[in-house]
Structure 1
Amino acid sequence: MSATTFLFTDIEGSTRLWEDYPAEMPSALEEHDQLLREIIEARGGLVFKTIGDGFCAAFAVADDALAASEEMQRRLRILVGDKRALRVRIALHSGVAEQRAGDYFGPPLNRVARLLAIGHGGQTLLSQATYALLSHTAGLRDLGMHRLRDLQEPEHVWQWGPQEFPKLRSLTLYDNNLPQQVTSFIGREKELSQVREHLQTARLLTVTGSGGCGKTRLTLQVATELLEQFSEGIWFVELAPLTDATLVELTVADVLGVRPVPGESLSKTLVKSLKEKKLLVILDNCEHVLRAVADLVELLLQGCSQVQILVSSREALGILGEKTYRVPSLSVPESTQLLVERASSHLPRFALTESNLSTITQLCEHLDGIPLAIELAAARVRSMPVEQLASRLDDRFRLLTGGSRTALPRQQTLRALIDWSYELLNAQEKLLLGRLCVFSGGWALDMAEKVCGTDGIEAWEVLDLLTALTDKSLVIYEEEEGGLGRYRLLETIRQYATEHLAASEELDRLRLRHRETVCLLAEEATTHLRGADQARWLQRFDQELENCRQAMGLPLPDPTHLGLRLALALNPYLVEMRGNLTEAILWLETKYPGAVAPPMNLAVQVLTYLGQAYWRRGDYAKARVHFEKALPLWKTLGDAPGFYRTLGGLANVIYYQGDYATAEPLYTEVLELSRQGGKPQDIARALNNSGLVAVGRGRHSEALALFEESLQLRRTLGDRLGQGTILGNLVDVYAELGRYDDAWQAAEESRIIGEEFSEPLMLGYAWLHIYRLARDEGDFARAEQAALKSLTLRHEVGERHGVLTSLAALMQLRIAEEKFVEATELLGATDTLRKEMDIQISPVMRDADARTRRTLREALPTEQFEHHYQHGSELPLSFWIKSVGTIST
């Protein structure tokens, strides 16, 4: 492939110009853009990108690119405000780059961008590669060799024209010993900005983070951007190779060119030498010689007023005046960019495509966004497809080896990277780190104390040990909403810790302690889910869900049925609060009956809870079977609340199947038994259900009284979610009674509560009620959006009855809009779904249903009606979920 010459431009000081001349800059910039584009295209160039106010252009011939730059500088006479001219710097570099999707990629683009960065407004710079391609070189000045930021090889720089400019702003201009980087720096814009900002106010900044997270690379990148600020330079001191802490002072002195003075301590000599100097010292990889570094830094800060120190370490120094900054993992887009760029350097044909995007994203997520781990993975693409690489990450410590031979030994394999940190721990810290692997999705302090506070670690010692592991960047601490602190391990650290715990032969014992602790927490949380403190306990359930899954999912001995108890405790949260019906059913069916048959008091709960989940999902036949099996067992146990709650569940099934006559006496019995039982929560639930059947039978005034009594009980209990459910049910009653203001208020309150708690079932119903009110007011656009939101939410949680009612709502809307073809197809779809679920048309709805069918038959010729009805009934449900929102448009 032949070389392309790239021409990059940039307006010097444009940020300040925008601040000083906000009114004049738009027209000046428009004139600038028009002129540059005209010149580039006239000279045969292609503008393939603009970045801010700069142009990126490609030329097949280097002479054309130079001619374009000459013409730009000659014709750029654009004034802003009080005769301040736009000063444009230009850079040219030639090389072979990959062209893809209208853009260019490869090292030549990095080099021309770095060349542009060292120039001044009005100056045109050329690389040696471009100079060599020119047919004439008259008028070019040799500016010598210069080191460019992030690039290993220096560049021989040339300038077009005789003008005099200040010295180029290359690394060569400033005193430093910053190592040249052989690869490009990717992402981290936020982190770079934050570190620079910290260094404006702090004389000592320690950048911390786990091994391989990119601390050194980040500090070096910041340093190259700050060279102009330190008149005596920036000096990088690598401490990783040291095995003797007493050598720290000597190593620093060697780098700074300070010679020992006989009869004087080296630290004192360092202070004397640096006392009046303005410089930045970077101390890299300090965690293994922390005390010696802290002592020296303290002396330098006290004795040298203009010296600033930037430290990278897995642990902070812990001295007065220190500011710390923890380097986070790379974001998924940054991780993906890093992997693709590094992989293509090992395998040039490697590229990001639609087919591998998902795999690469997953790979980067599983590697926790750790740059070194991603680079080790990228090196593997030479011999392994990325899909296979991703599938083998459970064995990441054997897989991710073979780093650069020039890297430090601990950076050549993923295991060596973590070994380095692990060996710096004391015995108790190692023991706790191993035990923490049993958690999944993080943990709170109380959980760690209960699970890990045993055999060698007292519960009261856990906090101090966790703090130490956090300080050493092996555990991550995050403060969540409400001031609650939570800890977690990166997955790579968790796998490493699991290996060590397994080697100690206490893995299964700790997993059982974890299961017991999680089970007891879930059982306690469930008792609070319908009370005034439900928001806090719902948040705790959200936080501990991964721990619950971990505890239930492992094949451990379970003679006391902890796994089943946990599945039961988790069920109300999954079914009633999160609408996660499939998972709720899965755990109960997985854990029941188990290797050892559970006692009757657990078995009957399984039957009842399965009945509830199947009812919610719309599997009415299965729900009825489970409820009917459970009822006699509750009687045998003499558990009245268990019996009438299950009877209420059976009544719900019958009611939802449209048999109101059979459901009503069952609801009446449940309400009587609930009042006898005296539990407000049960009474509120029974009142609500009796209100539903009253609505179904057209007795709206009676339903209003039942719902309002239920709502008052829920408010007394502080049960916000229960209030949201009843408010939703009140909407239709208020509407039927002509109280539309009350109906709208109830619908909005229900929606707000659903959003407050992220409860999808309640939100689905709330949006359906909003649909009904908007439709009645003739606001079809709002009604359609509400119905579509309801349909989407209910489909996502697998609530088939909700899907049915949402599709039926859309059918009625299409009839109102006189879109009879789609309405007929939706009629066919709802009839099919109703048959699958064994649902009858309720008596109160039969007249309305008959009117709907008559309207559609009268609107379409018989053959058309039959065709579209049949077509709709044969289409899969997935078609309607995807298409119903777009057909109407």
Structure 2
Amino acid sequence: MRRSDGSSHGPSNPPCRPPKPGNLALERNAFVGRSAELAVLTGVLEAGRLVTVTGVGGVGKSRLAARAASLAEPHDGVWLVELASVSRPHLVEYAVAEALELTDHTSRPPRQVLLEHLAERRLLLVLDGFEHLLDASRSLVRDLLRRAPGLRVLAVGRRPLGVEGERLFPLCPMPAQEAAELFADRATAARPDFALHDGNLPDVLEVCRRLDGIPLAVELAAGRLRGLSPAQLLLRLDDRFTLLTGGVSGALPRHQTLRTAIGWSHELCTPDERLLWARLSVFSGRFDLEAAEYICGGFGLADDAVLDVLGELLAQSVVIREETPAGVRYRMLDTVRAYGADWLEAMGDGPRLRRRHRDWYVGLATSCEVEWFSARQPDVAARVDADLPNLRIALDHCLSEPGEVHLGQYLTGTLWFYWVGCGRLAEGRHWLERSLEQACDNEDARLKALRALGYVAILQGDMVPALAALQECQAEAKRIGNITAATGAVHLIGFLELVTGDVPRGEQLLRSALDQYHEIGELNSSVLICQVGLAMAMALQGDLPGAVMLCEDVRTVCDDHGERWALAYALYVLAFASWADRDLAAARELLEEFLVICHGFHDLLGTVLAIETLALVTAEDGDFAEAALLQGVAGRIWPSVGLPRFGSSQFNASHELCEALVRDHLGDEKYDEWLTTGAQLGTDAAVARVLDRKHREQAGPVPPQCGPGPDASQAPNRREPASCPTEGGKAAG
């Protein structure tokens, strides 16, 4: 900061309060009882780095843990990882990264990414539902606690994690009186006029005692008040205990009690409700109505009856309804789902339902790939986000069942737009490599996966395997006469040449691919990205008018079709042209629109390209401290994308130009201070800061404190561009 006399001083205004970090959701209904346990757990959590809440399923572990976590205030927030829908041990690390909103496009192991991300942070990680992934969860938590001194973990499961230093918090069922209060609170959802009084209290207390005070069982019972009185509940409960007593041989009594409670609720359902309950267990996590109707309808349950039967299961709290960015979704508690899964297998219908599930999600991916080139692009991204747990189940099924590898290769290749455009490069590469490890006689499916693997590997900066996959794709496509696949391979090889420094060769291949796309009548996001890549190659060689013409054509096509993702990268090249013409205002406007689109799609590569280039524009506009801060933000993000600026002197020129400008005006010490400040700013906060110019002008460049900005009266040194100020040939492939 500068005083009026020109000297520097630190910010003195009071701090602004940023939004509280974390992903812990607000409670959906009242937290009833458990005050004593909450106080104890809060104290234990403050004293230990690893606390595990254990207890029988349905006893309320997750709810108590979430309540205790919400009372904690670690510097970097509380982050909930729900593992119930994660089916394979190797996906635990991906689930943790997803919950932390951590996007990494490199080929680094996900555990390394997590360790680096958490190393300097102080946060509370709530790991819920780990028991079916015990070994993987134990290994990960042990490593994270060893390497991240500011990390605390609150684990929730039916057994201890078994990690050194773990403090156990066994959770018992609720006392009858507290359980009755819970019963009364939840009963009002079924009967708004319900209240405890002297007439019904004895029956309610007895119901709660019979259910051993297990909250899940109590809530299921309360949901039946729509058609039964507490006295009738008690009578039916007594009958069902007699019918279902014992449970699984060797199980703990409370496990038997919970199974009895769920079994009793199951017995109260109609035959159609029981059938749908069992069939819905094939889903992982959330699902929508259309998927339920397709997968679960027929064979004894009419398609048009699914909605009504689902409504009855909702009324009985067997299924939960949730609002998501992709619309209304439904899910079952894991214990309830597991009970249904047992019935599904007992009926012998599991294999058929899993095939139906696979077919639905293969079809979903196919339609989403088509709709990606449309005005529904943001909806497609949200849809795939919401359905990712089920897509993983479908992928795993295809790659595990004999004779279905071709479907796995087709499915993971079809999802290229999601892996590339929505910040899922690491997971996409995992599925692509796994699918291609297996032999497949469907050549077209294999070509689709090979091209997608090459694309993902390029964006990760892993050029050797990328080139190998694309050359194999090109050779095999030519052999079998698949012109589209061969053209796609040439396109991406040209893209690879562009980002690795052979720009003339890249231009030649990209132009050849674009001509071939036009000849075969292909028009989609890939074709437009090829055109943007060609424009980038031309711009890097000085043909700005030609590059602008190509990108304006892309903009027109995108406007006609509602496409946004390819448009973003066209705006990127147009911003460079504006910068080269010294129209900094136009360049900034284009870069900000580029940033908005990429950040909205969780495209971390586009996001960092925008921030890096905005740093140069900001420096040339005279705001040197802000430019250094943005370079610090970009410097933090680049390692999660790949080698910063590809290690190329050509693509590094703009960064060096920006750094030279800022160092000249701030000096080395101040430059390094602002760089460090930027590196500590999260991506969401950095994007909000870039886009909120009015706040930035008022607040100055130091987050999270307020104060006057740097003196911008000095005219920046104008330097002619040595090359493109972007690091981005990489994204415009």
* Bin for the TM-score computed over the shorter chain: 0.5 to 0.7
Partner of 1:217: 178
Amino acid at match of 1:569: T
Q: 1:752-790 deviations in whole A, cap 9, x for unaligned?
A: 222333332222222122112112223232223323333
Q: 1:678-703 deviations in whole A, cap 9, x for unaligned?
A: 33435533321111111211222222
Using the alignment, how far apart are the partners of 2:430 and 2:220 within structure 1? 51
Using the alignment, how far apart are the partners of 2:444 and 2:484 within structure 1? 13
Alpha-carbon contact 1:654-1:663 (below 8 Å) kept: yes
Q: 1:130-172 deviations in whole A, cap 9, x for unaligned?
A: xxxxxxxxxxxxxxxxxxxxxxxxxxxxxxxxxxxxxxxxxxx
- Return closer, same or farther for 1:569/1:217 CA change in 2, 3 Å cut-off: farther
Partner of 2:570: 726
Q: 1:266-290 deviations in whole A, cap 9, x for unaligned?
A: xxxxxxxxxxxxxxxx999555675
Query: 5 Å matches for 1:614-629?
Result: 614-629=457-472
Amino acid at match of 2:554: S
Partner of 1:299: none
Amino acid at match of 1:520: G
Alpha-carbon contact 1:512-1:556 (below 8 Å) kept: no
Partner of 1:748: 592
Query: 5 Å matches for 1:320-331?
Result: none
1:548 aligned to 388, 391, 394, which one? 391
Alpha-carbon contact 1:610-1:626 (below 8 Å) kept: yes
CA shift, 1:223, in A, is 8.7
CA shift, 1:710, in A, is 1.9
Moved more, 417-426 or 813-822: 813-822
Q: 1:513-562 deviations in whole A, cap 9, x for unaligned?
A: 11111111111111111212212222211111110001112422334732
TM-score (norm 2): 0.58
1:574 aligned to 394, 401, 419, which one? 419
Q: Secondary structure at the match of 2:201?
A: strand
Partner of 2:615: 771
- Return closer, same or farther for 1:288/1:750 CA change in 2, 3 Å cut-off: closer
Alpha-carbon contact 1:683-1:710 (below 8 Å) kept: no
- Return closer, same or farther for 1:295/1:679 CA change in 2, 3 Å cut-off: same
Asked if 1:700 is matched to 2:664, the reply is no
Using the alignment, how far apart are the partners of 2:478 and 2:602 within structure 1? 37
Query: 5 Å matches for 1:620-769?
Result: 620-681=463-524, 683-769=527-613
Alpha-carbon contact 1:552-1:563 (below 8 Å) kept: yes
Using the alignment, how far apart are the partners of 2:45 and 2:491 within structure 1? 64
Alpha-carbon contact 2:447-2:477 (below 8 Å) kept: yes
CA shift, 1:216, in A, is 7.4
Partner of 2:331: 488
Partner of 2:436: 592
Alpha-carbon contact 1:688-1:726 (below 8 Å) kept: yes
Asked if 1:463 is matched to 2:307, the reply is yes
Q: 1:720-754 deviations in whole A, cap 9, x for unaligned?
A: 11111211222122101112121011011111222
Partner of 1:4: none
CA shift, 1:188, in A, is 7.4
Partner of 1:887: none
Query: 5 Å matches for 1:178-189?
Result: none
Q: 1:591-631 deviations in whole A, cap 9, x for unaligned?
A: 2253x523221222222111111111111121112111211
2:402 aligned to 537, 557, 568, which one? 557
- Return closer, same or farther for 1:657/1:822 CA change in 2, 3 Å cut-off: farther
Amino acid at match of 2:410: R
Partner of 2:163: none
CA shift, 1:468, in A, is 1.1
- Which structure 2 residue ranges, 5 or more long, are not aligned? 1-39, 48-63, 71-172, 186-195, 208-217, 237-246, 673-718, 724-733
Using the alignment, how far apart are the partners of 1:535 and 1:728 within structure 2? 19
Query: 5 Å matches for 1:168-317?
Result: 217=178, 220=181, 237-239=201-203, 285=221, 291-293=227-229
Partner of 1:613: 456
Using the alignment, how far apart are the partners of 1:761 and 1:739 within structure 2? 25
Alpha-carbon contact 1:236-1:283 (below 8 Å) kept: no
Using the alignment, how far apart are the partners of 1:683 and 1:656 within structure 2? 18
Amino acid at match of 1:220: E
Aligned length: 484
Using the alignment, how far apart are the partners of 2:316 and 2:563 within structure 1? 43
Q: 1:774-810 deviations in whole A, cap 9, x for unaligned?
A: 12223232223323333444443x4435575898866
CA shift, 1:479, in A, is 3.3
Using the alignment, how far apart are the partners of 2:410 and 2:362 within structure 1? 7
- Return closer, same or farther for 1:506/1:187 CA change in 2, 3 Å cut-off: closer
Alpha-carbon contact 2:184-2:222 (below 8 Å) kept: no
Partner of 1:427: 271
Q: Secondary structure at the match of 2:268?
A: coil
Query: 5 Å matches for 1:333-412?
Result: 401-403=252-254
- Return closer, same or farther for 1:810/1:513 CA change in 2, 3 Å cut-off: same
Amino acid at match of 1:574: W
Amino acid at match of 2:469: H
Query: 5 Å matches for 1:159-170?
Result: none
1:505 aligned to 325, 343, 348, which one? 348
Partner of 2:101: none
Asked if 1:476 is matched to 2:320, the reply is yes
Using the alignment, how far apart are the partners of 2:382 and 2:67 within structure 1? 32
Amino acid at match of 1:754: C
Amino acid at match of 1:503: A
Using the alignment, how far apart are the partners of 2:42 and 2:280 within structure 1? 48
Q: Secondary structure at the match of 1:485?
A: strand
Amino acid at match of 1:527: V
Using the alignment, how far apart are the partners of 1:98 and 1:563 within structure 2? 45
Partner of 1:37: none
Alpha-carbon contact 1:687-1:709 (below 8 Å) kept: no
Q: Secondary structure at the match of 1:678?
A: coil
Q: Secondary structure at the match of 1:558?
A: coil
Partner of 1:538: 381
Using the alignment, how far apart are the partners of 2:486 and 2:515 within structure 1? 13
Amino acid at match of 1:561: H
Q: Secondary structure at the match of 2:330?
A: strand
1:415 aligned to 238, 259, 269, which one? 259
- Return closer, same or farther for 1:187/1:283 CA change in 2, 3 Å cut-off: closer
TM-score (norm 1): 0.48
CA shift, 1:103, in A, is 10
Amino acid at match of 1:720: R
Asked if 1:788 is matched to 2:632, the reply is yes
Alpha-carbon contact 2:544-2:577 (below 8 Å) kept: yes
Using the alignment, how far apart are the partners of 2:225 and 2:423 within structure 1? 53
Q: Secondary structure at the match of 1:423?
A: helix
Alpha-carbon contact 1:237-1:284 (below 8 Å) kept: no
Q: 1:188-246 deviations in whole A, cap 9, x for unaligned?
A: 79x9xxxxxxxxxxxxxxxxxxxx8999737638999xxxxxxx976652436889xxx
Partner of 1:349: none
CA shift, 1:718, in A, is 1.1
- Which structure 1 residue ranges, 5 or more long, are not aligned? 1-96, 105-184, 192-211, 225-231, 244-281, 297-310, 315-395, 404-410, 825-844, 850-889
Moved more, 504-513 or 807-816: 807-816
Alpha-carbon contact 1:216-1:284 (below 8 Å) kept: no
